[in-house]
Structure 1
Amino acid sequence: MSLADQVLAVNNDLPIRTDKPVHSGKVRSVYWLTEEDSQRLIKEKGYNVKPDAPLAIMVISDRISAFDCIWHGEGGMKGVPGKGAALNAISNHWFKLFRDNGLADSHILDIPHPFIWIVQKAKPVMIEAICRQYITGSMWRSYEKGEREFCGIEVPEGLTRDQKLPELLITPSTKGILENVPGVPAVDDVNITRKNIEDNFAAFNFKSADDIAYYEKLLKEGFDVISGELEKLGQIFVDTKFEFGYVEDAQGNEKLIYMDEVGTPDSSRIWEESSYRDGKIVENSKEGFRQFLLNYFPDADILLNKDRMDERFALARDNELPESALMALSKTYTDIAEKVTGEKIVLSQNPKAEIVAILREQYGLID
């Protein structure tokens, strides 16, 4: 079996029973279950949600996205072997730790297979909640150009690249395009301040102004939980992105939960601590792949300049990356997942067939 066969690249064509369009993101696809199937599963499996809560099957893929593009490799490799299973395994591990530490629940109700989650519908908070413990990446590039204020927070003079910040910074940005919010441009992924959120909390889908402090608490405590665990593994948790949403439990109580994924090499930077002490950065996240792309193509500005998106999409479409680059990334993902979870990431021989069998036999979701 070739490596390309072990990659789940297309995940929006599964025969899961649904009466709505399949939503396909960069990495995950979402299949909304019929009302009948949602209610049956809630009853059969005893999920702690309202009896009529909409449920979905979320299927991860091995696709690799960077700089807003999907990349592919030689030999028909349309993704990175082991990536999907590694991402899910890491998220599952942190979500469980959050619950064990009394922080908050997640949107995940069930994990039938390493590639799939059964999730409840959440009303998302329209914020990409970014936490930074070190100055690097886009923040360093802006700092180097003279910027000293980030999302309304003043950062001191004299910082050097990749150094630890005096305190954990929350630098939120918008999730999606928000119209008619004073002081916030109607574009995706634009930086915002805490005051923007306070003044327009309902526009960001917060139920009350008090929930802003609660989301910050969940953010900081979640960051600390992951950071502490990674420290034990000789890793530094550099920065990450969290997402939140509201759901109702079986009793109809509304609660703020973690959603999307947490603490993964896709949503975070993770550095090798021993190398960092020696003055070198060894990335255990997708950041290493981003750096590879910046070095691989002669004109890195195409990848950094949002005014050149057409050229960027063409670059991703027309270039097969070396298999060695995708396999190096595969090792990064599976190694960090195995460190975090203490369990081996096993590559599926045929992920699609496995998913179909489980959802048919154990969940009755495929005719």
Structure 2
Amino acid sequence: MSLADKVLAVNNDLPIRTEQPVHSGKVRSVYWLTAEDSARLIEEKGYDVAADAPLAIMVISDRISAFDCIWHGENGLAGVPGKGAALNAISNHWFKLFREQGLADSHILDIPHPFVWIVQKARPVMIEAICRQYITGSMWRSYTKGEREFCGIQLPEGLEKDQKLPELLITPSTKGILKGIPGVPEADDVNITRQDIADNYQAFNFRAPEDIELYEKLLKEGFDLISDTLAKLDQVFVDTKFEFGYVTDSQGQEKLIYMDEVGTPDSSRIWDGPSYRDGIVVENSKEGFRQMLLSHFPDPDILLNKDRMAERQALARDNDLPESVLMEVSRTYVEIAEKITGQELFLSDNPKAEIIQILKEQYGLID
């Protein structure tokens, strides 16, 4: 079996029973179950959700996206071996820890396979909640150009690249295109201030003004929990993205939960502690892949300039990256997953066949 065969690159073609189109994102595909299958599973498995809650099967892939494009390698390598299993294992670990520490639940109800989640439908809060503990990446690039205000927060003069910030910063942006909010452009991923959220909390899908404080509390407590745990492994938690939503439990209580993924190399920057103390940044996250792309192509502006999106998409489509590059990314993901979970990552030879068998035999979702 070739390396390419072990990669799950296409995850939107599974024969899962559904009456809706499969929603395929950059990395995950979502299959909404029929009302009958949702109700049956809720009863059979005893999930703590409303009896009529819509459920979905979420299948991760090994695809790798960066700069809003999907990248591939030579020899038919359409993803990164082990990446999907690593992302799910890390998210599972943090979601479980959040629940055990009394922070909040997540959208995940069941984990039938390392690549698969059974999730409940949540009403998403329309905010990409970014937490930053260090100044790096896009914030540093803007800082060097003289910007000092980020999402309504004023940064001091004299900061240096990759320096720890005086306090944890919350720099939110819009999730999707939101219309009719004064002062907020109608575009995806636009930086917003806390005041924007407070003044228009309903437009961001918050149930009540006090839930803004709850979201900030869950954000900071979640960040600190991951940061403290990683510090014990001598890893530096630099920044991350959180997403939130509302669900209703079996008692009819609506609650704010964590959703999407948390603390992964895709949604966070994680630095190696010993190297950072020596003044060298070694990325244990997708940021290393982004930096490689910037140095790999002669004109990095294509990757950074949103006005050159057509050129960027052509770059991703027409270039087979060296297999060694994707295997380096694989090592990064697998090693950090094993470090965080304390367990060896199980890498399947044929994940698709396993998923189909489990969902058919144990969940009755495949005819």
TM-score class, shorter-chain normalisation, is over 0.9
Q: Deviations over 1:157-204 (max 9, x none)?
A: 000000000000000000000011111000000000000000000000
Q: What is the CA–CA distance in structure 2 between the aligned matches of 1:7 and 1:59, rounded to whole Å?
A: 13
Equivalenced residue count is 367
Q: What is the CA–CA distance in structure 1 between the aligned matches of 2:189 and 2:331, rounded to whole Å?
A: 30
Q: What is the CA–CA distance in structure 1 between the aligned matches of 2:98 and 2:91, rounded to whole Å?
A: 10
Equivalent residue runs for 1:1-367 within 5 Å: 1-367=1-367
Amino acid in the other structure paired with 2:92 = N
Q: Deviations over 1:104-157 (max 9, x none)?
A: 000000000000000000000000000000000000000000000000000000
Q: What is the CA–CA distance in structure 2 between the aligned matches of 1:340 and 1:25, rounded to whole Å?
A: 26
Q: Deviations over 1:262-298 (max 9, x none)?
A: 0000000000011000000000000000000000000
Q: By how many angstroms is 1:345 displaced?
A: 1.1
Amino acid in the other structure paired with 2:328 = A
SS of the residue corresponding to residue 265 of structure 1 reads coil
User: Percent of pairs identical after alignment?
Assistant: 80
Q: By how many angstroms is 1:319 displaced?
A: 0.1
SS of the residue corresponding to residue 353 of structure 1 reads helix
Shift >2 Å, 4+ stretches: none
User: Unmatched 5+ residue regions in structure 2?
Assistant: none
Instruction: Give the structure-1-normalised TM-score.
Output: 1.00
User: Unmatched 5+ residue regions in structure 1?
Assistant: none
Q: What is the CA–CA distance in structure 1 between the aligned matches of 2:47 and 2:347, rounded to whole Å?
A: 29
Q: By how many angstroms is 1:213 displaced?
A: 0.5
Q: By how many angstroms is 1:346 displaced?
A: 1.9
Q: What is the CA–CA distance in structure 2 between the aligned matches of 1:320 and 1:252, rounded to whole Å?
A: 51
Q: Deviations over 1:221-254 (max 9, x none)?
A: 0000000000000100000000000000001100
Q: Deviations over 1:44-83 (max 9, x none)?
A: 0000000000000000000000000000000000000000
Q: What is the CA–CA distance in structure 2 between the aligned matches of 1:346 and 1:197, rounded to whole Å?
A: 42
Q: What is the CA–CA distance in structure 2 between the aligned matches of 1:349 and 1:335, rounded to whole Å?
A: 19
Q: What is the CA–CA distance in structure 1 between the aligned matches of 2:257 and 2:154, rounded to whole Å?
A: 29
Q: By how many angstroms is 1:205 displaced?
A: 0.1
Q: Cα RMSD between the aligned structures?
A: 0.3
Amino acid in the other structure paired with 1:149 = E
Amino acid in the other structure paired with 1:304 = L
Q: By how many angstroms is 1:316 displaced?
A: 0.1
Q: By how many angstroms is 1:334 displaced?
A: 0.2
Q: What is the CA–CA distance in structure 1 between the aligned matches of 2:292 and 2:188, rounded to whole Å?
A: 26
Amino acid in the other structure paired with 1:172 = P
Q: What is the CA–CA distance in structure 1 between the aligned matches of 2:2 and 2:343, rounded to whole Å?
A: 24
Amino acid in the other structure paired with 2:200 = N
